[in-house]
Chains A and B, each alone.
Chain A
Amino acid sequence: MEASAASKPAGRLAGLGLRLAYDRRVVVPDLSVEIPDGGFTIIVGPNACGKSTLLKALSRTLKPEAGTVLLEGAPIDSYRSKAVARQLAMLPQSPIAPESITVRDLVARGRYPHQGLLRQWSAADERAVTGALESTASMELADRYVAELSGGQRQRVWIAMVLAQQADLLLLDEPTTFLDIAHQYEVLELCSRLHAEGRTLVAVLHDLNQAARYATNLVVMKEGRIVAEGDPREVLTAALVEEVFGLPCVIIPDPEAGTPLVVPKVPA
């Protein structure tokens, strides 16, 4: 599919007319989305509505049945796979930690797209790994085995691996799931800092209030479609939450951040 100059999306990453399926079971029939440059896009929606599927398509780990993903205005599969990985990093919903691997070795694996067959380790690799460990406050974990870490530490280390990739676009699938509330906010603050430093972030979250607080662009999905998108202050309404999640609620301003706060109604 050829995007004409007039309709070319402004964002660096966009999906046009995507049809996504597993073994011909269509999960997303026809979806277009544009990821604003420099924004923090958060995708919300009920379980199994296709959020992870969309992220896989945007990161080229799932090939669309129809439609195109555009990276820097060109179809994403016109790039070499390592070239894509240098621009776009993705953390899947449930990454698997290899047996007996240290934190530093795991983070170092994020350098793969920058390395060649014979040049497998350079000073730049070393700097990137150190930098990633530092910005996720995991330096003191470097020589520990990943299997020994707590859930919160482990999530920081996975994010460090993605950071070592040094891509400007970060896609994170449910980075806060399975963490207690303090560690959830720790990860979100880390994301928000990465965003403030200039990276473009896309994350799938389950908590609408966290999404409303951190997103600059909220994407609400239901059954493989985007129902609403934009500034969370405008998008997140009681009617929308009821329509998408079937949850009657009222929306009040978050007393701390001023963003919308979803308060479920007590069933009559």
Chain B
Amino acid sequence: MSATTLRLGGWLSLPVRRRSVVVGGALAAGIVVIALLSLTLGRLGIAPADLMPAILGHSTGPDAIVFEVLRGPRLVVGIAAGAAFGVSGALFQTVTRNPLGSPDVIGLTSGASAGAAAFGLLWTGILPLPVGALVGALAAMALVWLGTGRGFSSPARMLLVGIGVSAMSLAFVQYAITRVGVEQATVLASFLNGSLASRTWGHAALIWVSVVVLLPCALLTTRRLQLMEMGDEQADALGARSAPARSWAVLIAIGLATAAVSVAGPVAFIALTAPQIARRLTRSAGPNLVLSALMGAFLLTLADLLTQQSPFAVQLPVGVLTAVIGGIYLGYLLVAQWKKGTV
């Protein structure tokens, strides 16, 4: 069998799949490489020899500014926000038993855009943009909860209502932009696409604390979520109590996605694609939370590196790039599901 058991004394024994360990190690290494590249490449790049002093805060001059202000926070936010999106998508997909279930499709990210538009364009000065996004995301989720008529207990209804809420939110964004005129709306443009430009260590702290607190909570529900993949009834019959597990998972997923959206904007499709790619690479069932986190971090930092350094995408908001890649993937997924008759 391709799994071994990790043992520690008599009290710990966890089955570990070798393939998952290999994929996870490769992704972690990939993230390190991307991190090094994004700090060293380009006109302002820190020379490799000066990297360590810069990270430790010993350097002065341009390197200090590049690390402390321009690239360091951006990278650190990107890693955690990508991980948060990845885990959030994995949780939503498991709970809805549908690869389309993700904060993008279910209305959360569009709700964040609507919140940002509301407080950034229409009612300015009341709330800062990230908080506005947070409020929008939570309001959208409240609408989904009310709209299904039975909370988050029915996956199909959750998806349908979510798509509706998503459409409404985007319509609201358009309305807000038309109200204030396009010139003013440009201040919001980069946020609405999702961007990691000009992040601060404050953003980094917010998203890292969210991930460090919520990821372990999510891991505690993994086993019950695995059983829920076989249907709530089967999970209940195995003693896994699906109803509270579902509520927990949805709350954690909302928490992670809203945190990520409030620091990075509604970056498209990372949450949708990361868990799916992780699942295909590891060829294993289950929510694959740790791998989804690594994959999300890898994809987002990679996309951001491309927007910073590639000649084609220079200084585009990273969300534009992920939207293009994710859109293609979403199309593929829909066609595949259509063929299987499970849309």
Contacts and interface: CB of A to CB of B under 8 A. Distances in A.
B237 A85 contact: yes
A267 interface: no
Contacts of B220: 117
A104 B1 contact: yes
Contacts of B285: 98-101, 105
- Interface size grouping (class) on chain A: 35 or more
B13 A100 contact: no
Q: Which of A82, A99, A110, A143 has most B Cβ within 10 Å?
A: A99
A83 B240 CA distance: 11
B15 A95 contact: no
Contacts of B339: none
B12 interface: yes
Contact of A96 (B229, B236, B283, B284): B229
Contact of A113 (B229, B231, B238): B238
Interface string A102-117: 0011001110110101
B26 interface: no
Nearest to B231: A96
From B12, B223, B237, residue with most partner A Cβ within 10 Å = B237
B107 to A, nearest CB: 24
- Which of B226, B238, B241, B279 has the most C-beta atoms of chain A within 10 angstroms of its own C-beta? B238
B12 A118 contact: yes
Interface string B83-99: 00000000000000100
Interface string B206-234: 00000000000000100100110111111
A86 B8 CA distance: 26
B338 interface: no
Interface in B227-285: 227, 229-234, 236-241, 279-280, 283-285
Contact of A112 (B1, B5, B223, B283): B223
Interface in B110-127: none
A112 B227 contact: yes
B312 interface: no
A143 B239 contact: no
A185 interface: no
Given A97-B230, A100-B279, A112 B240 contact: yes
Interface string A167-198: 00000000000000000000000000000000
A32 interface: no
Contact of A81 (B5, B226, B231, B240): B240
A92 B242 CA distance: 15
From DSSP, what is the main secondary structure of chain A's interface residues? loop
B14 interface: yes
Interface string B54-80: 000000000000000000000000000
B13 A122 contact: yes
Given A112-B238, A112-B240, A99 B279 contact: yes
Number of contact residues on B: which range applies? 20 to 34
B1 A61 contact: no
Given A61-B233, A109-B226, A112-B240, A100 B1 contact: no
B11 A119 contact: yes
Nearest to B15: A121
A6 B135 CA distance: 60
B241 A101 contact: no
B13 A121 contact: yes
Contacts of A94: 231
Contacts of B223: 112, 115, 117, 120
Contacts of B30: none
Contact of A92 (B12, B227, B231, B279): B231
B246 to A, nearest CB: 14
Contact of B234 (A95, A119, A122): A95
Contact of A59 (B230, B232, B237, B283): B237
B240 A120 contact: no
B286 interface: yes
A143 B234 contact: no
A247 B97 CA distance: 41
B74 to A, nearest CB: 35
B229 A98 contact: yes
A105 to B, nearest CB: 7
A90 B280 CA distance: 30
Interface of B: 1, 5, 11-15, 97, 220, 223, 226-227, 229-234, 236-241, 279-280, 283-286
Given A100-B280, A101-B285, 8 more contacts: A56-B233, A61-B233, A89-B237, A99-B279, A104-B1, A110-B238, A117-B220, A121-B13
